A and B are shown apart, each in its own frame.
Chain A
Amino acid sequence: MPNNTSDPKSGQVIIPVILIILILLPFGYSLVNRVIAQGSDRSEAFLERPDAKYENCIRDTEYMRYHHWELLRTVRVEVVRYGKRGDIRLDSCMECHPNRERFCNRCHEAVSLTPDCFGCHYYPEIFQPSSIESVTEKTELIPVPDTTVVDSILTK
């Protein structure tokens, strides 16, 4: 059948091209996503300031921003496998950062991560409205640090 015998050269070109497009697709997708995301309302404050009970978190802000998952994972191994229950808990994050949508999801979405912590661990996506108001009010104020609590956590 002459119709079916395609030009061998065109086949040799098309297959690599399709492959390259497939490989580049995720990169292009995230690139476009990023550009769109930067154009949208994310140009505001990326993450909200914490509900300031403590001046600092249990580690430096820089460390917490980029390595909090390592800390959480280490703690997870210690708690689940060795029964060492210290003060660092996922629940205690909630005390300062009551709003998961603003605190966790924005950043995770921007770097397209979907950690499945919250399928099992309680961390409400949208906090009660009253608390949100109090949060926005408090972020304007300069909070008084409760150093005793922080020290007790850091020394553990």
Chain B
Amino acid sequence: MDRRDFIKVAGGTVLAGTSCTYAFRFLTSSSMSDAGVDSTLAKRKWGMVINLDKCKEDCTACLEACREENNVYHDEDDRWDINWIRKVKIEGKIGSATTEKTMILLCNHCDNPPCAQVCPVQATYKREDGIVIVDHHRCIGCRYCMIACPYNARFFNFKDEEHWINPDRPKRTHGVAESCHLCAHRLDAGKMPACVEACEKIGCGALSVGDFNDPESNVSKLIADNSVKRIREDLGTEPKVYYIGL
């Protein structure tokens, strides 16, 4: 057997082997991913309404509650710090008057999420009830979603979280992207997200989460009764986080 024959045989074997592997994976995975389509989720459409008039300026109850509930990584250096919710102060000029506002920013759970559109492995996706969620078992850490997100709401686990604040909930290893998932595990269990509970506990009640499909829900009423705004509505992402008093 000369070299050419050897290369032919070896190349053929490698090609056949890899194609068989992929055929096998395609076949097995297609049966896996269609495990069971649930229709109970589709009835709801979760969203959030934030009343900025009720929000206190220096209060960080929701931020801390979020960290404790979801084991969000904290770093001293804010370049690698992860904040699913963050508070910012914005300043704008209308005529000669300067207005200042305290804002709460989080994942907007867009109806047309750009992050889910660009995810090469469908790890980020929109659940049937409208929550944009990351499947950390599948994320390859390409960070394209962070670039696509126009709200700076997505973060990457650059380092490993050492502490396990809440053992009931998983933490993340380094190398996956994440953002707020509106405490989907709590909503599924019939509870409110941690930030909403914390906000109610301190007596503010600035945050409320509810079902937009239900016209009688708290958020639907809030939207109907107040003038609401969303961030960058012009982008066409259809955010589901509404602000009162922006």
A touches B (Cβ under 8 A): yes
Which A95-142 residues have a C-beta within 8 angstroms of B? 116, 119-122
The reply to whether A73 and B41 contact each other, CB–CB distance below 8 Å, is no
B45 at the binding interface (Cβ < 8 Å): no
With A82-B37, A85-B185 already in contact, 5 other A-B pairs whose C-beta atoms are closer than 8 Å: A78-B38, A83-B184, A85-B189, A116-B173, A121-B170
Give the distance to chain A from B170, nearest Cβ to Cβ, in Å.
4
Q: Which of B36, B170, B171, B173 contacts A78 (CB 8 A)?
A: B36
Q: Which residues of B contact A34 (CB under 8 A)?
A: none
Q: Taking CB as reference atom, which chain A residue is nearest B160?
A: A119
Q: Taking CB as reference atom, which chain B residue is nearest A12?
A: B3
The reply to whether B37 and A85 contact each other, CB–CB distance below 8 Å, is no
Q: Which residues of A contact B170 (CB under 8 A)?
A: 120-122
The reply to whether B41 and A120 contact each other, CB–CB distance below 8 Å, is no
The B interface is mostly helix, strand or loop, or mixed, namely: loop
Once A121-B170, A122-B170 are accepted as A-B contacts, the answer to whether A78 and B188 lie under 8 Å apart by CB is no
The reply to whether A83 and B188 contact each other, CB–CB distance below 8 Å, is yes
B125 at the binding interface (Cβ < 8 Å): yes
Q: Which of B129, B135, B168, B171 contacts A83 (CB 8 A)?
A: B129
Q: Taking CB as reference atom, which chain A residue is nearest B6?
A: A16
Give the distance to chain B from A90, nearest Cβ to Cβ, in Å.
9
Q: Which residues of A contact B125 (CB under 8 A)?
A: 81
Give the distance to chain B from A79, nearest Cβ to Cβ, in Å.
8
B164 at the binding interface (Cβ < 8 Å): yes
Q: Which residues of B contact A120 (CB under 8 A)?
A: 136, 170-173
The reply to whether B173 and A82 contact each other, CB–CB distance below 8 Å, is no
The reply to whether B35 and A77 contact each other, CB–CB distance below 8 Å, is yes
A residues apposed to B, CB below 8 Å: 16, 73-74, 76-78, 80-85, 91, 116, 119-122
The reply to whether B173 and A84 contact each other, CB–CB distance below 8 Å, is no
B residues apposed to A, CB below 8 Å: 6, 32-33, 35-38, 40-41, 125, 127-129, 133, 135-137, 160, 164, 167-168, 170-173, 184-185, 188-189
The reply to whether A81 and B129 contact each other, CB–CB distance below 8 Å, is no
Q: Which residues of A contact B188 (CB under 8 A)?
A: 83, 85
Q: Which of A73, A82, A91, A116 contacts B38 (CB 8 A)?
A: A82
Of residues B127, B133, B170, B184, which shows the largest number of chain A Cβ atoms within 10 Å of its Cβ? B170
The reply to whether B38 and A80 contact each other, CB–CB distance below 8 Å, is no
Q: Which residues of A contact B168 (CB under 8 A)?
A: 91, 122
The reply to whether A77 and B33 contact each other, CB–CB distance below 8 Å, is yes
Q: How far is the CA of A120 from the CA of B173 in the complex (A)?
A: 6
The reply to whether A80 and B167 contact each other, CB–CB distance below 8 Å, is no
Q: Which residues of B contact A91 (CB under 8 A)?
A: 168
A-B contact pairs, 14 of them (CB 8 A): A76-B137, A80-B135, A82-B35, A82-B41, A83-B40, A83-B184, A83-B188, A84-B36, A85-B188, A119-B160, A119-B173, A120-B172, A121-B170, A122-B167
Q: How far is the CA of A77 from the CA of B127 in the complex (A)?
A: 12
Q: Which residues of B contact A16 (CB under 8 A)?
A: 6
Q: Taking CB as reference atom, which chain B residue is nearest A85?
A: B188
The reply to whether A78 and B164 contact each other, CB–CB distance below 8 Å, is no
